[in-house]
Amino acid sequence: MAAPAPDIGSRSHAQSLDAADPLAPYREQFVHADEGLIYLLGNSLGRLPVASAKRVEQAVGAEWGERLIRGWNDGWLAAPGRIGDKLGALIGAGPGQVVVDDSTTVNLYKAMMAALALRPERTRIITDALNFPSDLYLLEGCVRTLGDRHEIVRLPSADGVTVDLQTLLAAIDERTALVTLSQVVFRSGFLHDAETITRRAREAGALTLWDMSHSVGVVPAALDDWGVDFAVGCTYKYLNGGPGSPAFLYVNAALPAETRSPVWGWFGHREPFRFDLDYRPSEGIDRFRAGSPAVLSLLALEPSVEMILEAGVEAIREKSLALTGCLIDLYDAKLAGAGYQLATPREPHRRGSQISLRHPEAFRIRRAVAEHHQLLIDFREPDTLRLGLAPLYTRFAEVWDAVEALVEVVASEAYLRYSGDRNGLT
């Protein structure tokens, strides 16, 4: 007997997608303290991998507690580079070019200052209005520190979702010192064409800095092949490193030897344990290290990076596109009619692993679905809901349930019971 044609709007269809999902077994490698919770915030804080909890327990008890100071030689000193190399394999970076240390913000700062110092005669910085605010604030601060000689060109977004590629390419010229963008935009999930933009920047002699916070681990990249100069990214989103886990910094080894962090710390010294009085930077990526890494937060990341390497970024991307595609189908079938507006590009090559929805009552809807349907999603002013789909643990059935919840709280007007006061922090 032939199976009936699937009804994409039915829960059983979603369940059949889960049944056929080769990555489905990975869900069991994460802690699910509350099986009823629909957690679509892997784009903000990834779930806790079972192996990470064990790794931290070991780092505390067997390493800090027992080995004490000897832990540094046992593996802590090497961890930023060791984990950096593993992470590099997720983004097309050969060994010795990635370090995991400090926050995304601090790494962005280091990269921006390093880049601007390499192009002292150029005075324009190209970015866009969809970039993460911290990235924009940092640029302002760098320009101030460097004597207000630079102009920050913040290209607008006509629709709040995308930035026109041709406008971007046309803005890059021989005055451009640096092009810095988020590969996937935090608000809309729009995926920039990093390869084409990087190529244009190289042609113009400009440097590139990609913020991969919302793409690392879910979108394949080829930083070395594309000729990217600098990249940074969070490790607590799709990389599941835990709250505030150290960020990564990629510095292309082909950059000149004088490429230098502005923060001349002892961990960036060629021989830190000689305690020389004068600075001699390390030759490799280590020269971008500053002080001691936050070891517990750092080691918590490693098991998840290994899990993602095992699963494969290509396979993860495939499921990611299936998940976001499923959500777009359900948007067309159900959400559009309930007053939601899709705020993520429909084309697979232009989206990351999240779907954004606009609704005039988004703030109250977010609260209502949390309380009535155990659905956690997030809200960004003034009217945007973000649904992050983490391929290693998000089920198609959860996407279906989330859509039902979003429809239900509008249809029942359940959201009207909640205040619109923004007294919370997020």
Map the footprint of a copy of itself across residues 60-89, applying CB under 8 A. Answer: 60-61, 63-66, 68-73, 76-77
- Counting contacts by CB under 8 A, is residue 45 touching a copy of itself? yes
The DSSP secondary structure of 246-312, one letter per residue, reads: PPEEEE-TTS-TT---SS--GGGBSSGGG--SS--B-SSGGGG--S---HHHHHTTHHHHHHHHHH-
Tokens of 290: 């500053």
CB of residue 305 vs a copy of itself: minimum separation in angstroms?
16
To which H or E segment does residue 236 belong? Answer: none
The active-site residue out of 186, 236, 250, 415 is: 236
Structure tokens at 380: 């960004």
211 is catalytic: yes
Q: Which residue is catalytic, options 237, 364, 380, 395?
A: 237
* Contacting residue, 274, 283, 346, 420, with a copy of itself by CB under 8 A: 274
From the list 132, 190, 248, 288, the catalytic residue is: 132
* 259 is an interface residue for a copy of itself by CB under 8 A: no
Which residue in 24, 255, 296, 338 binds a copy of itself (CB under 8 A)?
Answer: 296
Q: How far is CA 59 from the centre of its chain?
A: 26
Q: In the window 301-360, what residues touch a copy of itself (CB under 8 A)? A: none
d(CA 390, CA 239): 10
Restricting to residues 3-42, name those near a copy of itself by CB under 8 A: 31, 33-34, 37, 39, 41
* Residue selected from 8, 24, 51, 53 as contacting a copy of itself according to rule CB under 8 A: 53
Nearer to a copy of itself, 57 or 413 (CB): 57
Question: Measuring CA to CA, how many Å separate 156 from each of 143, 159, 192, 355?
Answer: 20, 9, 14, 21
Q: Is 386 tagged catalytic?
A: yes
Q: How far is the CB of 150 from a copy of itself (least distance, A)?
A: 14
Q: Which stretch binds a copy of itself (CB under 8 A): 83-91, 140-148, 318-326, 331-339?
A: 140-148
235-270 core/surface letters (b: 16 or more CB in 10 A; e: else): bbbbbbbbeebbbbbbbbeeeeeebbbebebbbbbe
Among 3, 347, 421, 426, binds a copy of itself (CB under 8 A): 426
- Determine contact, residues 267/66, Cβ cutoff 8 Å: no
Quick check: is 236 catalytic? yes
In one-letter notation, the amino acid at residue 205 is G
Taking the C-alpha atoms of residue 143 and residue 137, their distance in angstroms, rounded to an integer, is 10
Residue 401 designated active-site: no
Order of strands across the sheet with 207-211? 98-100, 248-251, 230-233, 207-211, 176-182, 124-128, 151-155
Separation CA 406–CA 395 (nearest Å): 17
From residue 222 to residue 251, what is the string marking binding to a copy of itself with x (rule CB under 8 A)? ------------x-x-----xxxxxx----
Size of site (CB under 8 A) for a copy of itself = 92
Cβ proximity to a copy of itself: between 242 and 391 the closer is: 242
Q: Indicate if 132 belongs to the active site.
A: yes
Catalytic site residue from 260, 351, 386, 395: 386
User: By the 8 A CB rule, do 206 and 179 touch?
Assistant: yes
Residue 258 binds a copy of itself (CB under 8 A)? no
Longest CA span, the chain: 80
Quick note: the x/- pattern for a copy of itself over 142-181, rule CB under 8 A, is ---xxx------x---------------------------
Residue nearer to a copy of itself on the CB measure, 39 or 331: 39
DSSP conformation class of 33: S
Applying CB under 8 A, the span of 1-9, 87-95, 258-266, 394-402 interacting with a copy of itself comes to: 258-266
- The SS3 call for residue 233 is strand
